[in-house]
Structure 1
Amino acid sequence: MKISTPLPVSLRIGLLGAGRVASLLGPALAAAGHQVTFVWSRTAAASAVLAAQLPGAQAVTTLPSPLPSADIYFLAVPDAAVAPLLVGTAWPDGALVAHLAGALPLSIFDVQPAVRGGVFYPLQTFSPGRDIAWSTVPLCIEANSLTAETTLLDLARSLSQHVRRLDSAQRLKLHVAAVFANNFTNHLLGIADALLAEASLPPELLAPLVRETVDKALANPPFTVQTGPAVRHDLPTLAAHHTALAAHPAWQSLYEQLTASIQAQL
């Protein structure tokens, strides 16, 4: 299967940030035929490590004025750093600058009218040492000009087979949904892992159950295939679980809240 369709002309990309997302996005851009011209990070080691993986990329820790020329500047930085970076950087007039955040609105670019603003949101979880199949990653695009949108869409399609235009309100709701599906689920799995460890039980015991739960939830509306003591209103089991969690009052409270939420959907 063909993973990506490189653009006829390679795009020059400035990558501001060298963290989890940037460290996986940079090599993917290079593999798709684009040129990452520079990598900026406040941490010299981080920018140097990432730039070394990208042929022709320069590592910088101080953003020069003017910036090196690029077709797109990606802001792969924490959400709170986007606005200060937009205001404090000497962008070329008309530069296309895009952030990668799920929860930041397109209007964040109002603080810097000299640039064309855009969003290039990859809907995936990024962790060191994990390979990403970029052809399967939904890439969500928004921009404040037609030229910016066209460029971002073309770039996205060179990486992924799943590219969507989403406005800021849709993307925010998607981001919240992603936190429930990914971050909260992972946290609950962490609690389950800790409870197994307390009982000297191996985490592999839950693997078939977790896989079937996810497979079933992806094949059906999840609320319609809910199982467990909350659905059955199995009061003796719920009480026994409450007692079993006595040493973990925060988890006990979370169990009760989730039970109430499940029962509210019936």
Structure 2
Amino acid sequence: MSHYTIVLLGAGRVAQHLGPALAQAGHAVLHVWSRTQASAGAVAATIPGATAGTDLRALPPADLYLLAVPDGAVPQVLAAAGFAPGAVVAHTAGALPLSVFAARAQVRGGVLYPLQTFSPGRAIEWRTVPLCLEATTAPDLELLRTVAASLSADVRLVNSAQRLQLHVAAVWACNFPNHLLGISRALLAEAGLPWPLLHPLIRETLDKALAEPPFAVQTGPAVRHDAATLARHEAALAGKPAWQALYKDLTVSIQQASGAATPNNEGVV
């Protein structure tokens, strides 16, 4: 497998995981850029031989420049960066289209989007992470495919429209459930109950949703149209109007997704 020289732009969560993974896969990650020397240096310190800097105009020559910066910063970085002529420049964003490179026509633009959530201190099993690719030309796509395949066994071609839909779906699958679990934990704490009490239920819910179509295995008072229980729950949330409103909205969504469900007041979750 070919190995490439790579410059990493960004020092956030994606860069913190992606830089060392690329180095471990055999690529030469030459340099890490960030807006501050401290953040660039912190990531570079995890990558053997990498330098760090804050000057976008003084980037070293490389085969590939990876932009692991916030979506809103990509146009500004593209406008200011001194990329080597002929190099491929790829962003790692889920919701940003390939057309973001149109403003800088001389850039060979592409996308290498890792479909995963990244947090400090948590190891990532890169071989299982779907890597979604897009590029304008076949040679650029082949370079990105080679880099991606050195990290993951799941490499896919996903166009901008598909990737946007995928990113929205990922927010529903990851960010929103995490927020709801945070609410659950807070409610338990208020009642003086331990968070692990819900762990078996959470695991079974996730296992079941992965094994079957989630709408088909929906349970709970909303899908049963258990009006009495729903009313009691809403009353219990009266002191938290934002959570109460969210509870009501999710109840309506569940009932709409379930279609003409038969009301059922069985005492099951």
TM-score, with length taken from structure 2: 0.94
Task: State the alpha-carbon separation in 1 of the partners of residues 166 and 56 from structure 2.
Answer: 33
Paired residues of 1:91 and 1:114 also in contact (CA < 8 A): no
Aligned counterparts, 1:24-173, within 5 A: 24-65=17-58, 67-173=59-165
- Once the two structures are TM-superposed, the CA of residue 53 in structure 1 deviates from its matched residue by 1.4
Q: Could you tell me whether the CA contact under 8 Å between 2:62 and 2:84 is conserved in 1? A: no
Amino acid at match of 1:59: A
Q: Amino acid of the residue matched to residue 251 of structure 2?
A: T
Measure how far apart 1:114 and its partner are: 1.0
**3-state DSSP class of the match of 2:65?**
strand
Report the AA paired with residue 44 of structure 1: Q
How many angstroms does 1:243 deviate by?
A: 0.3
Alpha-carbon distance, 1:125 to partner: 0.2
Following superposition of structure 1 onto structure 2, how do residues 232-247 of structure 1 map, counting pairs within 5 Å?
232-247=224-239
Structure 1 stretches of 4+ with a deviation exceeding 6 A read none
Query: Could you tell me how far 1:38 is from its partner in structure 2?
Result: 0.3
Cα distance in structure 2, aligned partners of 1:209 and 1:246: 25
Q: Is the 8 A contact 2:8 2:19 kept in 1?
A: yes
> How many Å apart are 1:56 and its aligned residue?
1.2
Letter in 2 for 1:15: L
Q: Which has the bigger relative contact order, CA under 8 A and spacing at least 6?
A: 1
Count of residues in Structure 1 that have an aligned counterpart in Structure 2:
258
> Does residue 187 of structure 1 match 2:179?
yes
1:20 matches 2:6 = no
Q: Aligned with 2:26: secondary structure?
A: coil
Q: CA offsets, 1:57-99, max 9 Å, x none?
A: 111111234x311110000100000011111122233220000
Q: d(CA) in 2 for partners of 1:101 and 1:48?
A: 23
The match for 1:4 is: none
Structure 1 residue 150 displacement after superposition: 0.4
CA–CA separation in structure 2 for the residues paired with 1:40 and 1:143 = 23
Distance in 2 (alpha carbons) for counterparts of 1:94 and 1:62: 20
SS at match of 1:64: helix
- How much has 1:144 moved relative to structure 2? 1.1
Aligned 8 A contact 1:12 1:34 in 2: yes
How big is each residue's C-alpha offset from its partner over 1:101-131, in whole Å with a ceiling of 9 and x where there is no partner?
0000000000111110000000000000000
CA contact (8 A) 2:3 2:147 kept: no
Question: What is the DSSP-based 3-state SS (H/G/I as helix, E as strand, rest coil) of the residue aligned with 2:223?
Answer: helix
Any idea what SS the aligned residue of 1:124 has? coil
Alpha-carbon distance in 1 for matches of 2:62, 2:83: 10
How does 1:224-263 map onto structure 2 within 5 Å? 224-263=216-255
Cα distance in 2 between the residues matched to 1:89 and 1:52: 22
Q: CA deviation at 1:197?
A: 0.7
Residue identity (%): 62
In 1, distance between residues paired with 2:178 and 2:81? 37
TM-score (ref. length: structure 1): 0.95
The answer to whether the Cα contact below 8 Å between 1:223 and 1:265 also exists between their aligned partners in 2 is yes
In structure 1, distance between residues paired with 2:181 and 2:95? 25
In 1, Cα distance between equivalents of 2:163 and 2:236:
39
Q: Which deviates more from structure 2 when the two are superposed, residues 51-60 or residues 159-168? A: 51-60
Distance 1:95 1:161 in 2: 25
Please tell me the root mean square deviation across aligned C-alpha atoms, in Å. 0.8
Deviates more, 1:184-193 or 1:41-50: 41-50
